[in-house]
Homo-oligomer: A and B are copies of this chain.
Amino acid sequence: MVDSKIKLAIVGVGKIVKDQHHPSIIKNPDYELVATASRNGFLDGIESFKSIESLLANRKDLDAVSLCMPPQYRFTAAKFALEHGVDVLLEKPPGATVCEVNQLEKLAVMNDCQLYTTWHSRHAPAVANAKRFLSQPQLKIEEVLINWKEDVRKWHPNQEWIWQAGGLGVFDPGINGLSILTHILPASFFVETSILKFPENRAAPIAANLSFTSEDGYRIIGEFDWGISGGEEWNIEVITDQGKLILSSGGAKLAIDGEPQEVEQYSEHGEYESIYREFSSLVSNRKSNVDVSPLALVADAFLLGERIILESFDE
């Protein structure tokens, strides 16, 4: 993209767009942010439309869209964009269901467009280093622990939709951990047992205990909890025959056998800057990057889940 910038629009302008997408896009010379489409939101100084239909009717020069509306509205918008020959970036999770994302992958191929299902935590500073360590050909993984715990009152105050059916509950953050794990482990893994804990007044789980089996035979234990107070615990521990890897702070820090490893220093938009660098490269090279596996693991956890009812949760 030396001569021509990617003409990009953002659809669904909310907090994550203002905090992350917008600043990351304007820093990247590969993009020209030409418009937004959103029922209520807009960005100062950028042409705005109310819907993706009017956006695409008016801006026929568009190369790509970033879809940041709530997951249940993404399929229709993505299909519409792909059928109009526009490349698509999807905020996480890429849809409300696994099946619709599989179908989007087919639609992208049929329309000769590129599709990118982003998982921002995969772009955290220490994730690439962890992946490199675990990819050593002789290394043998023995056991994996993933703890993804935070205080829902601190991180999601008054977000009613995350407690509704389909809102994912504790897997709204937990899927970030699973997106890292599916990225850094060399072997596939599958849910083996799942215990989901629901507050009696909520439709989504506040905590979950999962176990997974890896295709290579080792066990993965996962603990997801939204009910802790105070700090956060966003950690992955991988015990190998060549040392114990600890990826902590949501992928920001890495230690091997207790020794902190040097990782790249990130700005506050580092993960999304990396996402937009990758999208530029995908668009230029006419490649897609579609991975629904973190959402599919969560769906499998619900499919196999034993449900335990806890006392009511009130904010």
User: Which residues on A are within 8 Å of B, measured CB to CB?
Assistant: 75, 79, 96-100, 102-103, 165-166, 188-191, 194, 198, 203, 215, 293, 296-300, 302-307
Contacts of A102 in B (CB 8 A): 293, 296
A99-B188, A194-B165 known; A303-B298 Cβ under 8 A: yes
Q: Which of A99, A166, A198, A307 has the most CB of B within 10 A?
A: A99
Of the candidates B165, B203, B300, B307, the one whose C-beta lies within 8 Å of that of A299 is B300
A100-B190, A215-B103, A296-B99 known; A203-B306 Cβ under 8 A: yes
Task: Please determine whether A303 and B302 come into contact, CB atoms closer than 8 angstroms.
Answer: yes
A102-B296, A103-B215 known; A303-B97 Cβ under 8 A: yes
Contacts of A302 in B (CB 8 A): 299, 302-303, 305
Task: Please determine whether A166 and B307 come into contact, CB atoms closer than 8 angstroms.
Answer: no
Q: Which residue of B lies closest to A194 (CB)?
A: B165
Task: Please determine whether A190 and B303 come into contact, CB atoms closer than 8 angstroms.
Answer: no
Of the candidates B98, B215, B304, the one whose C-beta lies within 8 Å of that of A300 is B98
Task: Give complex CA distance A203, B193 in Å.
Answer: 13
Q: From residue A210, how far is it (CB to closest CB) to chain B in Å? A: 11
Task: Give complex CA distance A198, B300 in Å.
Answer: 18
Copies in the complex: 2
Task: Please determine whether B303 and A299 come into contact, CB atoms closer than 8 angstroms.
Answer: yes
Q: From residue A202, how far is it (CB to closest CB) to chain B in Å? A: 10
Beyond A100-B188, A165-B306, A299-B302, 15 extra complex contacts between A and B, CB < 8 Å: A96-B190, A97-B303, A98-B296, A99-B188, A99-B191, A99-B293, A103-B188, A103-B190, A103-B215, A165-B304, A198-B307, A296-B299, A299-B303, A302-B302, A307-B307
Q: From residue A198, how far is it (CB to closest CB) to chain B in Å? A: 8
Q: From residue A303, how far is it (CB to closest CB) to chain B in Å? A: 4
Q: Top 8 closest A-B pairs, CB basis?
A: A97-B300, A165-B306, A302-B302, A166-B304, A299-B299, A299-B303, A100-B190, A103-B188
Contacts of A103 in B (CB 8 A): 188, 190, 215
Q: From residue A263, how far is it (CB to closest CB) to chain B in Å? A: 29
Q: Which residue of B lies closest to A79 (CB)?
A: B215
Contacts of A98 in B (CB 8 A): 98, 296, 299-300, 303
Q: From residue A305, how far is it (CB to closest CB) to chain B in Å? A: 6
Task: Give complex CA distance A304, B96 in Å.
Answer: 8
Of the candidates B75, B97, B203, the one whose C-beta lies within 8 Å of that of A307 is B203
Q: Which residue of B lies closest to A293 (CB)?
A: B99
Contacts of A198 in B (CB 8 A): 307
Task: Please determine whether A190 and B296 come into contact, CB atoms closer than 8 angstroms.
Answer: no
Task: Give complex CA distance A165, B303 in Å.
Answer: 8
Contacts of A194 in B (CB 8 A): 165
Contacts of A306 in B (CB 8 A): 165, 203
Contacts of A96 in B (CB 8 A): 190, 304
